[in-house]
Amino acid sequence: MGFEVETIIKIAAFSGGGIAMGLGAIGAAVGQGYTAARANLAVSRNPKISGDIFKSMLVGQAIAESASIFALVITILLLFVIPPSPGLLDAAAYLGAGLCMGFGAIGSGIGAGNPGGEACFGLSRQPEAGSQLTTNMLIGSAVCQTPAIFAMVVALMLIFIKFGGAALTPTWAALIGAGLSTGLAAIGSGYGGGLAAGASCEGIARTPQSVTSVTTLMLIGQAVAQTPSIFGLLISFILMFKTFPESSLLMTPMALLGAGLCMGLGGIGPGIGNGMAAEGAVRWVARNVEHSSDLMRIMLVGQAVSQSTAIYAMVVSLVLIFVV
Amino acid sequence: MGEIGILSQLIIPFFGHDITINIKVVVMTWLVFGILIVLGLFARHKRSILPRPVQALGEFIVSVLYELTEDALGKELAQKYAPLVCALFMFLLLSNWVGIIPHLEEPTRDLNTTFGLGLIGFCIAHYAGIKTKGFKAYSKEYFQPIFFMMPLNLIGELAKIVSISFRLFGNILGGSIIILVVSYLTFSLVLPPFLYAFFGLFVGTIQAFVFTMLTVVYISVQVK
């Protein structure tokens, strides 16, 4: 096609920015809606403390919004970015950054609505536990943002690191694949982390004295639920920093793109599944504190099994990168 | 914005191989060691029944971590592993906090540090597993549920090191990159103090705790 390099870079940056903000707006809105719905339920159950519930809802929604704010930051950067030495690889990097941040914000946004909503509902049931609930909600929903933060980091790296010296043909696919890998894998982990955080707020409202075990188990559960997104980050780093030899075959770039897609899509399910395992364990620890170590062990074993599909995806991605 | 991805390295040629040392990371790690040792000496200095502030702080940290280890491992094993857990947590906490001081860098921002610590935890967990269950029962677990699942179980076990070390590394590196980019865009005027508090103190504390707890939990899964 007869476009100049600058035009192609602008096309990629603008469409990347559009994708980042467009997809990034999905998650937070759903999460905030859920928080508001639970807050309504909470007010109707216990109208006397509607002021506290309202405050708690706003705080929860503000945190749920942060994933979208990350997307907004990346979008603004993409709209105004000017590469110092323009090359076609910059176009691929900008498109990858947009895809990464757009997909990466979905899960954390939806997930972070959960602890907010459950904290509001818990407040109506157990107003005295208000401070523990708020602390727990803040920790839970902040940890929920980790996958979105990973996505933002990969997007920033794609925008600011100079890939100019690398061979164009396989590297363009590697950069888009790097974006897709972290971005897609963050969906499941973000949502799964939110499930665990929501269950912990519900559990603390039920038995406030179990707060230490519940918060500890929530943090471990969320950390393990984030494992698929960490695998995604690993594949992204390999794709960004490995130098690929120049090749004229179509096969090589497709393998790299496929590696990113494989890890990204393969990470969604295990993230949600791990989150569900953590949700169940956290919810029942609150009702049965004495058996918290048994529950934790079963949760970890269950998560390890549900995670094995993410490990298959990682192995296939590594094979696609290093062998094919 | 060139700072992202640049390391200060010392490269020593050694019989045809290059030995690479990341100087800044080594210096920062020793700085953290130094602070911890000084704090420990202060906490020990003039011990009394009525503790002074530093002693009270030390006792608080140790007793909280000791109880957490005891919950996960039981009384007997906790005696053996609690010192490791305390040391790991305090090192990680201080490492993650050190970055909020200008010109200092978190040692945990380097993958080598976190990977090394993950490897230590992995080796200790498997050593504990072999020691309590015996080698036969230990190796049998890899052939569960059917024998040909062995390679996948092995990869799953190795993936634990990757996930534990990349979790800490990604969080700390991510925080510092976001701080760098935001300070660059706002000319260090608006947000950074708040961001330092969030990523340095809050995320740093949580990730240090998660890393430590996961190490304990990996040990407890192997032991039981």
- CATH code at position A142: 1.20.120.610
Which DSSP letter does residue A246 get?
Answer: P
β-pair type (B9-14, B17-22): antiparallel
Task: Kindly state whether A156 is in contact with chain B, defined as any CB-CB distance less than 8 angstroms.
Answer: yes
Give CA angle at B105 (A154, A149), nearest 5°.
25
Structure tokens that stand for B94 in this block: 């201080």
Q: How many structural domains compose chain A?
A: 1
Q: What is the residue range of A155's domain?
A: 5-322
Report pLDDT for A232: 93
CA atoms of A323 and A252, how far apart (whole Å): 10
Is the confidence at residue B19, as pLDDT, over 90? no
Give the separation between CA B98 and CA B105, rounded to whole angstroms: 7
Write out pLDDT tens, residues B71-83.
888 888 888 889 9
pLDDT per position as a tens digit, A164-188: 777 888 888 999 999 999 999 999 9
Going by pLDDT thresholds of 50, 70 and 90, the confidence category of residue B10 is low
CB–CB contacts below 8 A, A to B: 90
The predicted-structure confidence for A126-161, as pLDDT tens digits, reads as follows: 888 888 899 899 999 888 999 999 999 899 989 888
Residue A255: both structure tokens together: 């393998």
Distance CA A281, CA A317 (A): 31
Residue B104 and residue B94: Cα distance in Å, rounded? 12
Whether chain A has a CB inside 8 Å of the CB on B178: the answer is: yes
Shortest distance between the Cα of A37 and any Cα of chain B, in A, equals 29
Dihedral angle sign, alpha carbons of residues A208, A209, A215, A217: negative
Contact A216 B68 (CB under 8 A): yes
Judged by a CB distance cut-off of 8 A, whether residue A59 touches chain B is no
Per CB-CB distance under 8 Å, the chain B contacts of A293 are 71-72, 220
Asked if B167 lies within 8 A of A231 by C-beta distance, the reply is no
* pLDDT at residue B24, as a whole number: 84
Confidence of residue B69 (pLDDT cuts 50, 70, 90): confident
CA of A228, closest CA in chain B: separation in Å? 8
Residue reference for tokens 């969320």: A222
How far apart, in whole angstroms, are the C-alpha atoms of residue A18 and residue A102?
9
d(CA B7, CA A308): 35
A154 touches chain B (CB under 8 A): no
Give me the phi and psi of B5, to 5 degrees please: 85, 15
Report which residue type is found at B111: L
Which value does ipTM take for this structure?
A: 0.80
- CA-atom Rg of chain A in angstroms: 21
Contact B115, B211 (CB under 8 A): no
**What pLDDT, on a 0 to 100 scale, did the predictor assign at position B7?**
53
Distance CA A69, CA A101 (A): 11
Identify which has the larger pLDDT, B47 or A55.
A55
